[in-house]
Amino acid sequence: MKFAIRSLTVASILAMGGVAAHAADLTYEPAPVAAAPEVFNWTGFYVGVHGGVAAGDFKYPLSINSGEFGTSGELKQDASGGFGGAQVGYNWQFNPNWVVGVEADIAAASYEGKISGNVAGFGFDAGSEVEWFGTVRGRVGYALDNLLLYGTGGFAYGDVKSSININGSGVSTSDTQYGWTAGAGFEYGITKNITLKTEYLYVDLGSQTLLDLPIGETTNLKMDADTHFHTLKAGLNYKF
C-alpha cells in the first residue's frame, strides 16, 4: 500500500512538472495594432500649371465737354476668351486644420471684345484685348484632410491693348495695367505630392485713357477703357 501511495505521489509530481514546463513554453503575443492612416499635410512649396476661361465686358466711359455744356455716357461690349499659364506658392498648415499661404501666377490670354457706334455724328469702332495677366495673392483656407477650401485675394496686373477708329482716323494704346483680384476655390490632394485645384477669380485691371481729342476750340471728346473680368480655371500642382 505504501508503495502504491508513493508511486501515485511521484506520478502526480511528474505530471504537475510537465504542465508547468508546458505553460512556461507558452508566450504572450499582443494583437497587432492597425497603423493609423497618414494625414495629408499642406505645408510646403509648390509649382504648377493652369488653364481656364474668362468672361465679362469692356466698358468705355465717354464725355463731351464744350465750355459750360457737357454730356457723358458709357458704352459696353461683352468679351470672352481663354488663358493658360503657371503658378508657384507656399502653404503653411497650423492649429491643426487652418492653412495660410501666398501664390503668384501668370498666364497668356486671348480675352477680347469689340464695339462700334455713333456719338454726336461721329462714327467709331473700338476694341480691347488682354494679352497676358497675372496675380500675387494671399490664401486662407480650411483643410479637411486632403481637401482644402480657401478664399484668396490680392494684386493683379496685365497687358491691355485698346484701339479706336473715328471717321477713318484711329489711335491705339498698349499698357501694363494694375489692379486687384479676389475669389475662392478648392484644392484636392490626389497623392501626397500632386494636387488638383479649381478656382474662381474676379480681376479688375483698372482704366486707361483711350481717347482725349480736342474738337475745334472749345469742345473736347474723351473716352476711357475699363478692364475687368471673371475667370474660372483648373490647375495641377506639385508639392515639395
Distance CA 216, CA 12 (A): 132
Distance CA 219, CA 116 (A): 22
In this prediction the pTM is: 0.80
Q: Which of the four pLDDT bands, split at 50, 70 and 90, describes residue 227?
A: very high
**Locus of grid cell 471717321:** 167
How far, rounded to the nearest angstrom, does the alpha carbon of residue 38 sit from its chain's CA centroid? 26
DSSP 60-127: EEEEEEETTEEEEEEEEEEEEEEEEEEEEEEEEEETTTEEEEEEEEEEEEEEEEEEEEEETTEEEEEE
Average pLDDT, the chain: 85
Distance CA 65, CA 35 (A): 77
Give the model confidence (pLDDT) of 194-213 as tens digits.
999 999 999 999 998 887 87
Count CA within 13 A, CB hemisphere, residue 113: 19
Phi, psi of 25 (to 5 degrees): -75, -20
Q: Which domain holds residue 83?
A: 44-239
Give the model confidence (pLDDT) of 38-87 as tens digits.
789 999 999 999 999 999 999 888 888 876 677 778 888 899 999 999 99
- For residue 209, what is the domain's CATH number? 2.40.160
Q: What is the pLDDT of residue 67?
A: 67
Q: Is residue 213 part of a domain?
A: yes
Q: Is residue 219 part of a domain?
A: yes
Which H/E stretch holds residue 199? Answer: strand 194-215
Q: Is residue 211 part of a domain?
A: yes
Contact 75, 60 (CB under 8 A): yes
**Locus of grid cell 502526480:** 12
Q: Percent of the chain beyond pLDDT 70?
A: 81
Q: How many domains does the chain have?
A: 1
